[in-house]
Amino acid sequence: MSIEFLIASAIGVFAGAGVYLLLRARTFDVILGLTLISYAVNVLIFAMGRVRIGMAPIVAPDRAPSLASYADPLPQALVLTAIVISFAMTAVLLAIAIAARAATGTDHVDGVECGAAQRDAGDAADDAGARQR
Amino acid sequence: MSLAASGTAVLVLLPFAAATLMMATISPRSRRGAVTGAALATLAGCGIVAGLGPEVLAGNVLRWQIEWLPQIGLAFGFRMDGLAWMFAWLICAIGALVVLYGAYYLAPEDPPRRFFVFLLLFMGAMLGVVLADNLLLLVVFWELTSLTSFLLIGYWHQRGEAREGARMALTITGAGGLALLAGVLLIGNIAGSYDLDVVLASGDAIRAHPLYLPALVLVLLGCFTKSAQFPFHFWLPHAMAAPTPVSAYLHSATMVKAGVFLLARLYPALGGSEPWFWIVTLTGLATLLVGAYVAIFKHDLKGLLAYSTISHLGLITLLFGLDEPLAIVAGVFHILNHATFKASLFMAAGIIDHETGSRDMRQLNGLWKYMPWTGALAIVAAAAMAGVPLANGFLSKEMFFAETLAKEGHGLMELVLPAGALIAAIFSVAYSTRFIHDVFFNGEPVGLTRTPHEPPRFMRAPVELLVLLCIAVGLAPAAVIGPILASASRAAVGAPLPEYQLALWHGFNAPLLMSVAALVAGLLLYFGLQRFINLHRIVHLPRGGRDMFLFLIDRIVGAAIACTRAMQNGSLQRYLLLLVVLAVLAGSLPFVRSGSLLEPIASSTPAGAVELIVWAIGVLTAVATVFVHRQRLLVLVLLGATGLVVTLAFVYLSAPDLALTQVLVEVVTIVLMTLALRWLPAEGAAETGARAVARRWRDAAVAIVAGLGIGALVWVVLQRPVDSIAPYFLENTVPSGGGANAVNVIIVDFRGFDTLGEITVLGIAGLIVFAVLATMRRRSSTYAAVDGGDNDGPGSSLMLALVSRMLLPLAAMVSIYLFLRGHNEPGGGFIAGLVLAIALILVFVANGMRWVDARMQIDFRGWIGWGLLIAGLTGVGSWLVGSPFLTSSYDYPVIPLIGAVPLASASLFDLGVYLTVVGATVVALSAVSRLRAPDAVNPDDIAGMASER
């Protein structure tokens, strides 16, 4: 069992769980899914710098500034801002979810309850069309 | 570049400049100002063209050029040879006449400035087409003519037919323009340059290239749509909804000639091949016959002239298709002749329309006695159109007959071409006769609302001038037009011309016989039709083209709507599913292409028991979120655990900055979600129904495939050696950035511009949260907010409240410490900002907003603004010392007690980051915590917060 395998499989599990939740009908579930996908993607970008242990990119005078002695700082810099941005995205989506529920009375992602009325996809499509008009 | 050469640039830019000036200085309703401006511009254009004449007629090619986008071979330059000069002359001279004519034509209620500005814009675009020295530039001007034509046809936009005609013309000529662009790109690729000189010189290479045929067809599509060739001809009659000066200028003399101009222009590069002969000749022949035939049956004066124009354009196209130097001469000659007589006929039709209020030949009869002078002019011009001797049309038509007779080879075409030419000539005599007989003779006017009379003196002047020219050319062609024709034809053929003679009388020969036969048969045809069938009763509506066009447009719009409906049914789940499935498919491509991807290549790092346990916690909690996602408070605990595992991974894998950021963001996110849970159901309702189960299984399958795919992708990448630009950052972080922490230096220095964008996004996000929730508070009374929030005072948890207050100054100090050391050790603006934000949030949540508002008057929205301002100004500051945006400099001043502090201008930038992060985070979270739950809300809704109460 290598570290590489652990990272890859963890990313896969995070992404899979995230995708399943992303496809749910409740706003909160979608936000949970996006959070999990953010974990997966952030770790993925970070992992592109490969597995390095004990080589934080804090340059010291006694070690040559090369990839042999330090982890790749660029993916780290990219992921650092990505983490903050995914928080911003979560915050905006939560605000929209709250406002949407206040406006429509439901937390369904489409603003109407689909499952309760047992409508088939065709009806839902017509409804959606009518709403857009 | 000589003075004369710069004249070409001045010539093209002059109308645009004049139009801009007119928009700026003349009132929209000032007819005098608009006419003066347009007249001055066109006359100046004529002056320049005349001034350049001697040099061009002497055989020189004027070139003027500046670089525009040298990377794609696009130069901004103009080139004037004989052909371009002839067209420029046509455009400016007829432009000047049309301005004079239009000054009288426009009704008092028509806005004059708009009309003349459009006209000038068109003139500039048209001059650009004929003078462009680069094929790409030519296409740009080509499209501009389509656009200005659209504006001019739709000048009376209150009329439905004008709008429809404008749309149709734009669609067809615009689509042709796209085809032309594609063709030009092919030619440019083959020739290796878009420069006209190079392209014209590499005709042999182009014709021998395998892509010659596609290039030819695409370019011809552009030419044929513009010059209204069959089967694209139908837009031209509908364009007659334009004011008559526009019809005279654009739709007979100039714009529709752009297509045949391009045929002539590119003849040395594309002509001289079998495909050229067959496509161009047959298209020209079909257009010639269809146009001439339909023209006989039009009752509308302008309709007759429109179809006649189509027919004459077909004649010119046919001549170019014949692929003989003399045929090119005839074609160029006919371009000139047609422009003169057709423009004068359109103007005459406009005068008749203007003075009688009708263009219908069933009403207009016997006008001779009311307007004999106009009648006489129209008769001469119509005679030129019919090809009667002594008028210019006769000469080029004779040459046309001679060329169709002289063309050898191609089997049956030797017979078809002269026969078609003769039949078309008979038709053209018939419709020309009708134009004269039906309007000026043939009884009395029927049902006119006013008594016709001669137009104002100067409205007729342009017609007189043009008709005079028709006669002058007809009588003494060699003297009047010989040199111009020779230089233009030489440029079109691209080689020395064979001997030819321009003269009225060539002796008794076959072409003369054909002319006489056409005249006699045409007269017989017209009077026969009039006598035995009565043309007035035939209602001929050749609407096939229009119907087909509208049908196609309907179909395209219908297909677009169906496509949109299929993809956008209003269900977010459908969109997200499509997105995920497409992403999975795209991600699977590399695996499909190469099967050996999964074989390990490089060595791997072995994992111990601790790593395995942490991994297991992360994976299990992530999987558990799926199963318990309906119990929302519980799922947040699990999600937080997953986040902490990610944090540990960052710590272990040499990313201390990431670990710090991740753990802080984790705290903020979970707090925010918990706060938000009050306003959302604590239990997610399950989807019900038969389809819901199937959908869950389907989504699970998609999720498993996506997870396996992304995991495999990472696995494959991690097996491979890395090649990175990282050494650059590692080497330069201390010498150039002044900091040992490479990650922080990248964020605030190397990639500072990215970071500026990112904190802007963050700030906007914070404000969006605030704005969305604030408007919600205002609009919905059930969600009314009070300053105190829900958990007023220290009642909820006294311990937490007190501890949070004591913690705040400590946290602030840690935050400042993390900020200051960030350049050299883990820390920096993002991390320090989050630490302070969390401490503030803790105080807010534990003590309630009312308590906070009473003691702290800080508007954190301002922090976002200050942060962005400081970061931005830091970047601008480097301009002051002459460096590019965001260049940093640094020093290490020693502060007592603290020691050497790395003070880089990047630290100032980092301060901007810090303020923005604190501001955005606190604004977002306090906006949520300020919402107050109404009493009417379902108790379930606030169950999530029950523990806090």
Instruction: Determine contact: B945 vs chain A, CB below 8 A.
Output: no
Contact criterion met (CB < 8 Å) for A19 and B920: no
pLDDT in tens, B297-335: 888 899 999 999 999 999 999 999 998 889 999 999 999
pLDDT in tens, B915-933: 999 999 999 998 888 876 4
pLDDT in tens, B208-218: 999 999 999 99
Mean pLDDT, residues A104-122 taken together: 65
Tell me which chain B residues have a C-beta less than 8 angstroms from the C-beta of A103: 776, 780
Answer whether residue B74 shows pLDDT above 80. Answer: no
pTM: 0.69
Question: Which of B158, B773, B277 is closest to A95 using CA atoms?
Answer: B773
Contact criterion met (CB < 8 Å) for B773 and A99: yes
Question: Which of B534, B348, B523, B369 is closest to B445 using CA atoms?
Answer: B369
Mean pLDDT, residues A6-21 taken together: 95
Answer whether residue B350 shows pLDDT above 50. Answer: yes
CB < 8 Å from A in window 823-882 of B: 824-826, 830, 834
Answer whether residue B233 shows pLDDT above 60. Answer: yes
Answer whether residue B938 shows pLDDT above 70. Answer: no
Instruction: Give the whole-angstrom CA distance, residue A121 versus residue A112.
Output: 13
Chain A nearest-CA distance from B851, in A, is 24
Instruction: Give the whole-angstrom CA distance, residue B899 versus residue A67.
Output: 31
Tell me which chain A residues have a C-beta less than 8 angstroms from the C-beta of B627: none
Question: B686: which DSSP letter?
Answer: P
Q: What is the DSSP string of B719-787?
A: TSPP--SHHHHHHHTTTTT--SBHHHHIIIIITHHHHHHHHHHHHHHHHHHHHHHHHHHHH-GGG---T
Residue A60's pLDDT band (cuts 50, 70, 90): confident
- For residue B880, give the amino acid letter: L
Instruction: Give the pLDDT of residue A112.
Output: 80
Answer whether residue A115 shows pLDDT above 60. Answer: no
Instruction: Give the pLDDT of residue B932.
Output: 63
Q: Of the given ranges (B274-278, B500-504, B511-515, B648-652), which has the lowest mean pLDDT?
A: B500-504
Instruction: Give the pLDDT of residue B590.
Output: 78
Question: Which of B102, B68, B296 is closest to B194 using CA atoms?
Answer: B68
Instruction: Determine contact: A42 vs chain B, CB below 8 A.
Output: yes
Q: What is the mean pLDDT of chain B?
A: 87
Nearest CA in chain B to A107: B680
**What percent of chain B clears pLDDT 70, i.e. is strictly above it?**
92
Q: B869 vs B159, B191, B648, B865, B911, CA distance in Å?
A: 53, 52, 35, 6, 11
Mean pLDDT, residues B711-719 taken together: 88
Residue B800's pLDDT band (cuts 50, 70, 90): confident
Mean pLDDT, residues A110-127 taken together: 52
Question: Which of B218, B232, B237, B236 is closest to B275 using CA atoms?
Answer: B218
Strand partners, B74: B69
Mean pLDDT, residues A63-79 taken together: 89
Instruction: Determine contact: A63 vs chain B, CB below 8 A.
Output: no
Answer whether residue B791 shows pLDDT above 60. Answer: no
Helices B829-847/B905-929 angle, 10° precision? 30
Instruction: Determine contact: B583 vs chain A, CB below 8 A.
Output: no
Q: What is the mean pLDDT of chain A?
A: 84
Instruction: Give the pLDDT of residue B603.
Output: 66
